[in-house]
Amino acid sequence: MLNDIFIAPFVDMVEAPDFLMQVLWEGLVSGILYALIALGFVLIFRSSRIFNFAQGIMVVFAALTLVGLFAMGVPAWLSVGLTLVVMFVLAVVIERVVLRPLVGQPDIILFMATIGITLFLIGLGETIFGGENKVMITEELGIPTGDTVLEPFGGLLILQHLDITVVIVATLLVLALLAFLNYTQMGRAIRALGDDHQAALSVGISLQTIWVLVWFIAGIIALVTGIAWGARAGVSFALEVIAYKALPVLMLGGLESITGAIVGGLMIGILEKLFEIYWGQPLLGGNTETWFAFVLALIVLLFRPQGLFGERIIERV
């Protein structure tokens, strides 16, 4: 038993390095998508102290809107543009109708409001687009669907072109987001709100404008993530469950850390895939990817409650 846990998996990695590379690649792709979703949570929490429970359904709603517009005869890339417009309108409506009237209310009230947004978007999505599974318009968007076969160490490594595209686009989106936050006036305003709400408001930063902006950015992230996951698994309300895999990423990296969201996403994506292949399937019968990330995050929280990259909170009484 101890051999199966501590020795055999590492022997398998050494004996089949090409298969190990395949596992690491698939974990990297999943990890980048987890990190993207987690960034949406982090941005909204940093700017408003609201844990956005609706981020998962925003992924579904954005993907459904894109596919639905295309089904109505709108060209693929025009559908992408119109979906972004829909996500912007959604951000404005959420700020005006839900968040603005609740300014100053306890955090739990704001959290419950995002649950209400989730239920509303589920009902709206089912009413407009129906509840059946749909196919993402992958080819219509020009996303490659073939694969490239490599032979490292005399073995076999298959790289799906879809996955390569996802990695490139997600990486560029993360870099663009980091550049926006660090080098633009609005980006610095978002960071200022995250660091000190009262000080930021005292120098004239508009809370309402920032809220609309971060919810729109979260909508952009939701659309990109929806296209990526939809191309891999189809477009359905089940994508909402996949999106909540970002929760252990937040627990691991810290709820306010952009760096933590990125690193945490990559760590969980890679580690859960390694555990599934080398420990989960041989010892536990597989399907460990559904719970491994949460157990790992729980272990980290036991020793570092603020996450790996979160700031330690010290309260003096």
Parse the chain into domains and list their residue ranges. 2-303
Residue with tokens 């609201």: 50
Work out the average pLDDT over 15-44: 91
Work out the average pLDDT over 233-239: 85
State residue 277's pLDDT score: 93
**Residue 46 pLDDT level (bands cut at 50, 70, 90):** confident
pLDDT per position as a tens digit, 180-191? 888 888 888 877
β-partners of residue 148 are: 159
CA angle 193, 240, 255 (to 5 degrees): 30
**Per this entry, what is the length of the chain?**
317
Q: Is the pLDDT of residue 289 over 60?
A: yes
**Residue 196 pLDDT level (bands cut at 50, 70, 90):** low
Which two structure tokens, joined as six digits, stand for 39? 């960034």
Most confident stretch, 61-70, 98-107, 257-266: 61-70
**Residue 232 pLDDT level (bands cut at 50, 70, 90):** confident
Q: Which CATH class is domain 2-303?
A: mainly alpha
**Residue 42 pLDDT level (bands cut at 50, 70, 90):** confident
More confident residue, 3 or 192: 3
More confident residue, 201 or 150: 150
Q: Is the pLDDT of residue 198 over 90?
A: no
DSSP string, 292-306: HHHHHHHHHHHH-TT
Q: What is the pTM of this model?
A: 0.89
User: Which range is least confidently modeled, 27-31, 105-109, 196-200?
Assistant: 196-200
DSSP string, the chain: -HHHHHTHHHHHHHH-HHHHHHHHHHHHHHHHHHHHHHHHHHHHHHHHS---TTHHHHHHHHHHHHHHHHHTT--HHHHHHHHHHHHHHHHHHIIIIIIGGGTTS-HHHHHHHHHHHHHHHHHHHHHHH-SS-B---TTTTT----EEEE-GGGS-EEEEHHHHHHHHHHHHHHHHHHHHHHHSHHHHHHHHHHH-HHHHHHTT--HHHHHHHHHHHHHHHHHHHHHHHHHHH-BSTTHHHHHTTHHHHHHHH-TT-HHHHHHHHHHHHHHHHHHIIIIIIIII-S-GGGTHHHHHHHHHHHH-TT-SSSPPP----
Most confident stretch, 75-89, 147-161, 234-248, 278-292: 75-89
β-partners of residue 282 are: none
Give the CA distances from residue 128 to residues 35, 67, 72, in Å, rounded to whole numbers and listed in that order.
29, 12, 12
User: How much of the chain exceeds pLDDT 70, in percent?
Assistant: 93
